[in-house]
Amino acid sequence: IKAEGMAGLATGLGPTAVGYFVQGWFKFGGVEFFKTKAAGFLGEEKAWQYRIPIYLGAAAGAEFIADIFLCPLEATRIRLVSNPSYASGLMTAFPKIIKQEGVVKGFYSGFGPILFKQVPYTMAKFAVQGWAAEQMYRAIRTSPDQASEGLKLTLALSSGVVAGVAAAIVSHPADTLLSLVNKEGAGGNGTIMQRLVVLAKESGFRKLCLTGLGPRCVMIGSLTAGQFAIFDTVMSLTGAQKFKFVDPASKIE
């Protein structure tokens, strides 16, 4: 702020906003798409039996696709934040990066590390949220079809908090490593994976898993709760139906 003023805080805001909007669109939509396709292929009974693996697989697939769209925008954001004079914004930075470095090197050099961080995070996020929501509905002896809109929103927020905390714990070691590897000279020379291995050995298991975990759980728990609440609200307002796994035993009178 002292060097650049308040405008410095907004550096890279364009690609950040666009990137995470696009990522969220493909992530939440993709999970619903893959869940529906997997359940249709397996049938209702098998889908219920294997719902956790379906959640995990759907989340991994959706995140992979979402990160294909996120990575160029994240690379642009990093370039603008590290060198504000590089370009005036997203629209001018994009063609400049392509011209200087090409699409693959310029936009996808960090694709592996992003997957390393985001895929486990998203798998935990959706699998735990689905499980937590299921347990909450069971505890109050109702179902999404019978619950009021207010109750659905409350449970979306509650299960989102649980999912966010779980996802934060699962992804924290990777997030810590990626934060360290972005520092100049960290991990020595070599490929990104070699440097990550060096940093993991230097940091130790305890530091990777616990340093900064509390604040991250609070932040990610709050954000995730909001994301699921917004998603469920938008689905309700547009009249779209969120896919639900159905226990065949519940249909037996």
The answer to whether 128 and 51 are in contact (CB under 8 A) is: no
- pTM, full prediction: 0.81
Residue with the bigger pLDDT between 249 and 139: it is 139
Mean per-residue pLDDT of the chain = 84
190 pLDDT above the threshold of 90:
no
pLDDT digits (tens, 9 = 90+) for 39-61: 999 999 999 999 999 999 999 99
% of the chain beyond a pLDDT of 70: 88
Of 73-77, 138-142, 246-250, highest mean pLDDT: 138-142
Backbone angles phi, psi at 186, to 5 degrees: -65, 130
Please tell me the predicted confidence (pLDDT) of residue 182.
58
Query: DSSP of 3-41, one letter per residue?
Result: TT-GGGGGTTHHHHHHHHHHHHHHHHHHHHHHHHHHHHH
Residues 6 or more apart whose CB falls under 8 angstroms from that of 64 comprise 115, 119
